[in-house]
Amino acid sequence: MVKFADESKIRVSSGKGGNGCIAFRREKYVPMGGPSGGDGGRGGDLIFEIRRNMRTLVHLRHKRVYKAKNGGGGEGSQRFGKKGDDCIIPLPPGCVIKDPDTGKTILDFGDAEEGRFVFLKGGNGGWGNCHFKTSTNQAPKTALPGQEGETREIIVELNIIADIGLVGFPNAGKSSLLDYFTNARPKIAPYPFTTKIPNLGVLRVDEERDVIIADIPGILEGASEGIGLGIRFLKHIARSAGLAFLIDLSDDNYLRAYDVLCKELESYSKELAQKKRIIIATKLDLPDTKERFTELKNAIPDQEILGISLYNEWGLEEVKKAFIRLADEMQKTKPRKESLDPYSQNKNFMTAELDDVSYEEKNDDEHFGATVSLSRKRKPKK
């Protein structure tokens, strides 16, 4: 079976802050130079970057651990340490970040097609000894270590974003329809279960507009109970603007097919079952199908039903117009999303300030330094 990379469990970490420096001015004519240890550099951030040209999570299967670089240590003359390099993980549009223990969604990128998001912020750099000079201690031998970064295990889940999702039983003509309208080249054969993974195609409307069509494996009766392949991939059409139900008129159970598909979708998600839809009756070139097409329209009078023949190319222009109309209608009613703000949207970063730090100084003349014991309190999440 062909595997489609739509989920991956990874461990991510931000960088540790660099240690503060213990140093003193040693110029020839400055006998009382005082402390000059600089602060450590901030650790690198763990960043997700949405890239519109990506389609799967296959790159996450080859590497499961991602860590940003640690910050550099402070130096004398109050020089700050170097900031650690960020770790940037590219993701396709439509990804969701989940907690592997609870299954709850931590972060949903929605329909953002590009942008960066700081998921874990690097630890702050430790203070150099120049911060600890007081009226009673002119030569402090104290510095603070850098703040630890954060580490989390997460599940990255991909939900394909499409304008139109094709739904139907195996061999109903979904892949052939996708092949006709788009530049996608799905596998097509005269037997069921040809499609084993989701396929995406782009229907070019004009220079500024595209309609993305998603074809998923065929759905069987009982799919909500685990039968067949299609139910696993229904999440990929959950964000589509509308659905196209393909009914095979050459199947003797064509009248029952629509009810079965509706039932399976509702068992999976009521929200998905309530999406706008059109019904496409396929294989209109075969014997007795024209009468069946009339019976189907009479049986479902409240739905838009279009008849097509991919063999003779009948009715395809009407289907194209219906796809464009459905996508345009949903685009107008779609709520506007705010752009990704790297820092304001993720406020659960570890932070430490002077009041959260306790330290003690111990004499250690060997390296004119100090051994520092540090305890930091993590601020409660708001």
Q: Quick check: is 176 in a domain?
A: yes
Residue with tokens 């139900």: 245
Q: Quick check: is 5 in a domain?
A: yes
Q: Which two tokens stand for residue 172?
A: 């109903």
pLDDT at 192: 45
Known binding-site residue numbers: 168-175, 193-197, 215-218, 282-285, 309-311
Known binding-site residue numbers for GTP: 168-175, 193-197, 215-218, 282-285, 309-311
Shared domain for 33 and 117, answered yes or no, is: yes
- CATH code of residue 290: 3.40.50.300
Shared domain for 29 and 54, answered yes or no, is: yes
Shared domain for 155 and 175, answered yes or no, is: no
Burial of 152 (0-12, 13-18, 19+ CB in 10 A): middle
Strands, sheet with 115-120, edge to edge from the N-terminal-most edge strand = 87-91, 46-50, 115-120
CA separation, residue 195 to residues 83, 88, 172, 316 (Å): 48, 33, 11, 21
Q: Which two tokens stand for residue 139?
A: 């030569």
Strand-strand pairing, 46-50 and 115-120: antiparallel
Shared domain for 240 and 257, answered yes or no, is: yes
Q: Quick check: is 339 in a domain?
A: no
**Distance between CA atoms of residues 200 and 211, nearest Å:** 10
Q: Quick check: is 338 in a domain?
A: no
- CATH code of residue 32: 2.70.210.12
CA separation, residue 324 to residues 112, 203, 343 (Å): 21, 9, 37
- Write out the E strands in the chain: 7-13, 46-50, 65-67, 87-91, 95-98, 105-108, 115-120, 151-158, 164-168, 199-204, 210-215, 242-248, 277-282, 305-307, 357-358, 363-364, 369-370, 375-376
Known binding-site residue numbers for Mg(2+): 175, 195
Of the candidates 73, 44, 69, which has an alpha carbon nearest to the alpha carbon of residue 143? 73
Q: Quick check: is 173 in a domain?
A: yes
Shared domain for 322 and 218, answered yes or no, is: yes
Shared domain for 110 and 242, answered yes or no, is: no
Shared domain for 136 and 179, answered yes or no, is: no
**What are the two backbone dihedrals, phi and then psi, of residue 286, each rounded to the nearest 5 degrees?**
-80, 160
| Beta carbons within 10 angstroms of residue 195's beta carbon | 25
Radius of gyration from C-alpha coordinates of the chain: 30
Long-range contacts (CB closer than 8 Å, 24 or more residues apart) made by 203-209: 203/320, 203/323, 203/324, 205/324, 209/324
Shared domain for 113 and 206, answered yes or no, is: no
pLDDT at 331: 66
**Distance between CA atoms of residues 142 and 354, nearest Å:** 14
Are 86 and 46 in contact by the 8 Å Cβ rule? The answer is: yes
Q: How many domains does the chain have?
A: 2
Shared domain for 137 and 201, answered yes or no, is: no
**Distance between CA atoms of residues 158 and 95, nearest Å:** 4
CA separation, residue 332 to residues 205, 241, 322 (Å): 17, 11, 16
**Distance between CA atoms of residues 170 and 190, nearest Å:** 10
Shared domain for 95 and 134, answered yes or no, is: yes
Shared domain for 149 and 174, answered yes or no, is: no
Q: Quick check: is 318 in a domain?
A: yes
Shared domain for 221 and 295, answered yes or no, is: yes
pLDDT at 188: 47
Q: Quick check: is 344 in a domain?
A: no
Q: Quick check: is 341 in a domain?
A: no
Range of the domain at 109: 1-159+351-382
pTM given for the model: 0.64
Q: What is the pLDDT along the chain (382 residues), one digit of tens a residue?
A: 344 567 899 999 999 999 999 999 887 777 777 899 999 999 999 999 998 777 778 788 889 999 999 999 999 989 999 999 999 999 988 889 999 999 899 998 877 778 899 999 999 999 999 999 998 888 899 999 999 999 999 999 887 767 888 988 888 888 888 888 886 554 444 444 454 567 777 788 876 677 888 887 767 665 555 555 545 667 667 777 789 999 999 988 889 989 888 888 888 788 888 888 999 999 999 988 999 999 999 999 988 899 999 888 899 999 999 998 888 877 666 554 444 444 434 443 333 333 344 344 443 433 333 333 333 444 444 4
